[in-house]
Amino acid sequence: MNAKTKIIALACSALLLLTGTASAHHGANNTKVWAGKVAGTTAAADPATAIRGKALLVDGKTKNLLAVKVRNLKPNTEYTFGLDGVSDFAPTTATTDENGKLKGFAKSDTFNAADGATYTVVVKEGDVTVASSTLAPVTRKGFGHRHKHGGRH
């Protein structure tokens, strides 16, 4: 085998290795996501002041997150949020800002979502539930990582 043939053979081998690495990088994404709109438990006289927001639950391979954003709560007040009936996410306390907006998230190392299960996020002031959201599974094509150039694989 001459030098030119060896170089071509090595180049072909390198390309095959890169292809294998790229396909391993883009393997199956087992992340499960639930989302829902948060609504107050009592009706507001003015729709502009109604308690509302969003909640997101992510059951990932290495990270499990619960994120809550709620507005029109009492300013500078402590609220507790968590998944109703799920002990993997300990109830988490967060304080609203001066505009009554609550942003909080909790992490869990032990949460494993059950297929077909529904989850409910509850927001409480003390022992009183002020808002809740029933989370539904999010299914959309392309959910997952993106590259800087904006393309999906």
Structure tokens at 125: 């002031």
Round to whole Å and give the CA distance between 61 and 64: 8
Contact between 94 and 71 under an 8 Å Cβ cutoff? The reply is no
35-92 tens-digit pLDDT:
999 999 887 777 788 999 999 999 988 889 999 999 999 999 999 999 998 888 888 9
98-136 tens-digit pLDDT:
999 999 999 998 998 887 788 999 999 999 999 999 999
pLDDT at 46: 79
18 phi and psi, to 5 degrees? -65, -40
Please identify which residue in the block is written with the tokens 């053979």.
Answer: 9
